Structure 1
Amino acid sequence: MVKTEELSPEQVYSMNETGLNIKILPEKTFLGSHEQSASGFKKNKERITVAVCSNAAGTHKIPLFVIGKSAKPRAFKNLNPSSLPVYYKSQKSAWMNSDLLKEWFNLEFVPRVKKHLKSVNLPIKAVLVLDNAPTHPHDCDVDVIRLVYLPPNVTSLVQPMDQGVIESRKLVSEILQHSESEDKGLLDVIKKINIKDVIYMLATVLISRNAFFNVY
């Protein structure tokens, strides 16, 4: 087993996921500059799961892992999912599960980590820190790239990706900018936003700050 004390921050990674309701506004009201009031509307519960992953040095950020409900969303018409700026997979409830995480680990995480470590002349050894969620498998270690699990009930305290890393405020700001630039009401923009739009917004607004992702 890889000993974490032998690894540099370049070799220690953390990953965590969050659910994102892509058409539900925050509880506080936002208005476009040309709107006098916000009319009510029925909440759309369309959601995706977004997983973020980076090394502790902040020098290597793995592309976002996005899970939607449909393998071929209508918004992906004439689009090859492999051309998206994220790693996209589908699951009927849009939640993470063990099979999806294993696939991401083997096909996306491991190859990218090996390539990065080689580029910075470091040994091909790394750990990926995960919380103890039931959907996080314990049987997908590869060679010297291992999974390390946090103890139960401490995720909010010590999981790096939970320390102000995963937020949605910047995404809301991006939607507001679209509303103003297109001279449309915020609700009109929200109604027309699809999963493809959200994916590109997320890829745009996730900017590095210090070691990890920041979406403020």
Structure 2
Amino acid sequence: MAAAGAQVVLVARRKSRLEQLEQKIKAAGGTAYSIVADLTSAAEASEVIEKTIAQFGRLDTLVNAAGVMMNGPSIASPLDEWDQMVNINLRGLMYITKAALPQLLAAVGTSQRKVADVVNISSVSGRVAAPAVAIYTATKFAVTAATEAWRQEFTKQSLRFSVIEPGATVSELFDAKDGQWEGFRSMFGEVERLHAEDIAEAVTFIVTNPRRVAINEVLIRPTDQA
């Protein structure tokens, strides 16, 4: 998105990772600004929006990609892991979206494109349930459902809501708990996983469409995944 001309605000908990990505974008000629925040805090989520407006004066696009996956047998899984998934995957998305809505709607009126966007990253697990992934699946079903409800609520105000549902992707998602990738392989077999760039390109495609085009839902699976 930076390569397409967007002024990008990067939000995460780890300062070092943010700084690496910010410098990479700037070295390529783009514009980036980092904010360290824990989006499971409603106050910090609101501060992110405030700092974004202070830095750039507006907010045209929100991409919600923060998430964690800690799957396993339901009886053996600690309750705090379930809480973490709900807090990050769902509450974090709710907090930042709630804080962003007024600014996104305001941007519609001053945008040359006359449209603003929210893109939520859900998962194939937001469409299809499977054993030992109950709470992760619940959070992603909720993201997909909330996105559609928001789409209906705000589409007449030219605020587009879109959801992307990736399949297996090379990321830190499988690293949150030992054995998760092995469990995936036992269910689906060996697959060539998607790359984060594949999902980023889908996001860019969605938000760079003209106002008349609303891409509501995008399901992306690895070619090898049945």
Q: Considering Cα pairs closer than 8 Å and 6+ residues apart, tell me whether 1 or 2 has the greater RCO.
A: 1
* More strand as a share of residues: 1
Q: Which has the higher helix share?
A: 2
- Per the normalisation by structure 2, the TM-score is 0.31
Please identify the structure whose Cα radius of gyration is greater: 1
